[in-house]
Structure 1
Amino acid sequence: MATPRQDSSPKGFRPAFYRMKDVIRITSLSRPTLYRRIAAGRFPAPVKLGGRASGWSAQALQAWIDNPSGYAAEPTADDPAS
């Protein structure tokens, strides 16, 4: 008999960083659309977490969720336009 899986995370838990799979699920945008919007400055860029891993901070993702049509990425220090 299979037992139902218990969720071990506490209620209200939010990860510090979201991976691509989670961002696609949350935003309902495809991977190519996300990268086009990142290049255009209309979606937050991922943060390098180490090695090949990268993710989006919960705060950056929430900023986009709060205003998806008006979101403008913050210029970065290595951005030649800044």
Structure 2
Amino acid sequence: MPKPDPSKAPPAFYRLRDVVRITALSRSTLYRRISEGRFPAPVHLGGRTSAWRSEALQVWIDDPDRYRSATPPK
């Protein structure tokens, strides 16, 4: 079995510009869906920085129509 190449592993977190590019959703649509529980919420990384966990984003990518947030939005 070949050894996994760490250089091809996805990043742990994606910033907003990457999420917009990956999902083809606008910033306002992303935040509206977050408030509705239909898109994963970003994680606060410190200061004014937040990003999306790659695992959470992949769950949404796998089935965007059925995605529901595990925790209710604040």
Answer whether TM exceeds 0.5 for this pair.
Answer: yes
Q: 4+ runs of 1 displaced by more than 6 Å?
A: none
* Aligned with 2:50 (options 26, 33, 54): 54
- Count of residues in correspondence between the two structures: 69
Q: 1 or 2, which has the higher helix percentage? A: 2
1:36 corresponds to = 32
Identical-pair percentage: 58
* TM-score of the aligned structures, taking structure 2 as reference length: 0.86
For structure 2, list consecutive stretches of 5 or more residues without a partner in the other structure. Answer: 1-5
* TM-score of the aligned structures, taking structure 1 as reference length: 0.78
Distance in 1 separating the partners of 2:49 and 2:32 = 20
The answer to which structure, 1 or 2, has the higher relative contact order (CA under 8 A, 6+ apart) is 2
1:71 maps to a residue whose letter is Y
For structure 1, list consecutive stretches of 5 or more residues without a partner in the other structure. Answer: 1-8
Residue 14 (structure 1) shift: 1.1
